[in-house]
Structure formats: structure tokens, C-alpha cells
Amino acid sequence: MACDSPIPDDSRTDEVLSARNLTREFLSGDGRLEILKGIDFEIHHGQIVAIHGASGAGKSTLLHILGTLDRPTSGQVFIGETNAFDLPEDRLAGFRNRTVGFVFQAHHLLPEFSALENVMMPLLVGRYDWDTARERAKGLLVEVGLGKRLGHKPLALSGGEQQRVAVARALVARPHVVLADEPSGNLDRGNGEALLNLMWEMSHRHGQAFVVVTHDESVGRRADRAYVLEDGLLNAVAA
Ligand SMILES: Nc1ncnc2c1ncn2[C@@H]1O[C@H](COP(=O)(O)OP(=O)(O)OP(=O)(O)O)[C@@H](O)[C@H]1O
Ligand SMILES: [Mg+2]
């Protein structure tokens, strides 16, 4: 089945993701931990928003909830116009696959597949036909500078190259938003900067929205908006 555009254009609003009054508590051996205490958040088409914060502040917890990988204790996440946690569980995974891209600190590429196959994967899971998936994945790998590495398996790529494949994979389904958790955290300074520049380039070229969690405050200075997550709340960083 050829379905080049599974999300009709009229479902896209300028606001690609928003969250209302998110809380997240964990019950553990140390009692009840309130990690998120009422977060409101929104990001629009083409924006890059940076989130900083100390280790353990809850940045990954927040990103996982925004990406619907984890559920909040209370509150709502809208992706496009859809209230994500209202979807039945069996539809949520497919919805996430179409609407959210992820880039993690570790690339999470599938080791037995080539760079090209890894980038094709979200489209194949989303039931695109093989040729469409191949062409689109190839185009993105060329854009991220890996046109001559299509057949390389992840272990035969450098760390910076692996992360560029991960960015291509995150973008391939043309998601509403890409959520990146310390994407340059495992890279040296030069490769880290190159990866961030690539994200900016992709944002400008494709209107792609990115939420970037990072310790690197220079990212916040370049972003459209920057926040610090502290004591369970997002505080805006003055431009
Ligand atoms: N499943 C869980 N059960 C209990 N506590 C958890 C769970 N997941 C996260 N936490 C706690 O929530 C807090 C926030 O964790 P999180 O991973 O979101 O922090 P972070 O801001 O991403 O930190 P880092 O910068 O080190 O990645 C931590 O104190 C962590 O121990
Ligand atoms: Mg984290």
C-alpha cells in the first residue's frame, strides 16, 4: 500500500505538540517522588525548544511523556489535535510512530541492519511500500551526509555517523515533532556541534520541530525558546 502522506495536511496545526498540567510521581522504596509538578508546554511547527536541568531533575521523564512512551500521573498531551492518552493502547504505538521521532544519547540503531534499512524501518512499520521507504530514507541519508554509507551496519559507522543515522531515522516519517534526549552527549565537541548544526539545518529545511534536552547551554541560546526544569516545573530562560 502506498501511503506517502498518512497524516492529512489538514490535521496539522501550527502547534505540533502541547502538554497541559503534566504531573508524574514515582513510588519507590524511598516513598513517593513527585518529579513533574504541573508542566504546561507547547511547541510550534519549525521551532527548536531546549530543555536544560540538573541530573535527576526529570528531563527524560518529561520527554518520554511528551513522546507518549510513558504516561503522566495526571495531565494531557496533544500531538496535533489528538489527545494522545485518549487513544486506545493498541492505536497509540502506531500513532507515535507516525507523529513523533526520537533521538537518544545512544543511537539505538538495530545492529543487524544497514544504515539504509534502519532509516527505512519506521516507514516499513507504518506500512509504506518498500520503494517509497527506500527512496525517502536514501534521500535523508544523503542530506545528513551519509550517501556513501547506505550499506554500512551501525558498528561500521563512527559515533557521529551513527547519530546522524539516528536523526535521519527520527525524521523519516515526517513526524510532528522530534524529541532528542542529550543527542550529542556521547560525542566529542566537534561531532556534537556538527550534530546540533544538522538538527538546525533540518528544522529550517523541513520545518521540523525539535525538543532538545541538553546540558549544553549554548543550545538554549540558539533555540527559539529555552527552559530549565527545576523542582518539577519548567522555567523559561531569558533570551
Ligand atoms: N521508573 C522509575 N521509578 C522510580 N523513580 C524513577 C523512575 N524513573 C525515573 N525516576 C526518578 O526520577 C528522577 C528523574 O529522572 P530522569 O531520568 O527524568 O532525570 P534526568 O533529568 O533525565 O537526569 P539526567 O540528566 O541524569 O539524564 C530521578 O530521580 C529518577 O531516579
Ligand atoms: Mg535523562
Give domain status of residue 136, yes or no: yes
53 lines ligand 1 (CB under 6 A): yes
Strands 74-79 and 209-213: unpaired
Structural domain total, the chain: 1
pTM reported for the whole predicted model: 0.93
Give domain status of residue 39, yes or no: yes
Task: Choose which residue among 24, 26, 51, 234 to substitute to test ligand 1 binding: the one with the highest number of ligand atoms within 8 A of its C-beta.
Answer: 26
Give domain status of residue 8, yes or no: no
The CATH number of the domain holding residue 191 is 3.40.50.300
Quick one: cell of 166?
539516528
Q: Is 39 in contact with 164 (CB distance < 8 Å)?
A: no
Give domain status of residue 93, yes or no: yes
> Per DSSP, which regions of the chain are E strands?
15-28, 31-44, 48-52, 74-79, 82-83, 100-103, 177-181, 209-213, 225-230, 233-236
Give domain status of residue 174, yes or no: yes
The one-character DSSP state at 238 is: P
User: In angstroms, what is the span from residue 35 Cα to ligand 1's centroid?
Assistant: 8
- Of the listed ligands, the closest to the CA of 231 is 1
Give domain status of residue 3, yes or no: no
Per-residue pLDDT of the chain (239 residues; tens, 9 = 90+): 444 444 444 444 589 999 999 999 999 888 999 999 999 999 999 999 999 999 999 999 999 999 999 999 999 999 999 999 999 999 999 999 999 999 999 989 999 999 999 999 999 998 899 999 999 999 999 999 999 999 999 999 999 999 999 999 999 999 999 999 999 999 999 999 999 999 999 999 999 999 999 999 999 999 999 999 999 999 999 87
Give domain status of residue 21, yes or no: yes
Cα distance between residue 208 and residue 217, in whole Å: 21
Residue nearest to atom 6 of ligand 1 (CA): 26
Q: Is 22 in contact with 11 (CB distance < 8 Å)?
A: no
pLDDT at residue 105, as a whole number: 93
Identify the domain containing residue 126 by its residue range: 13-236
Q: How many CB atoms lie within 10 A of CB 18?
A: 18
Beta carbons within 8 Å of 230's beta carbon, 6+ residues apart: 53, 54, 57
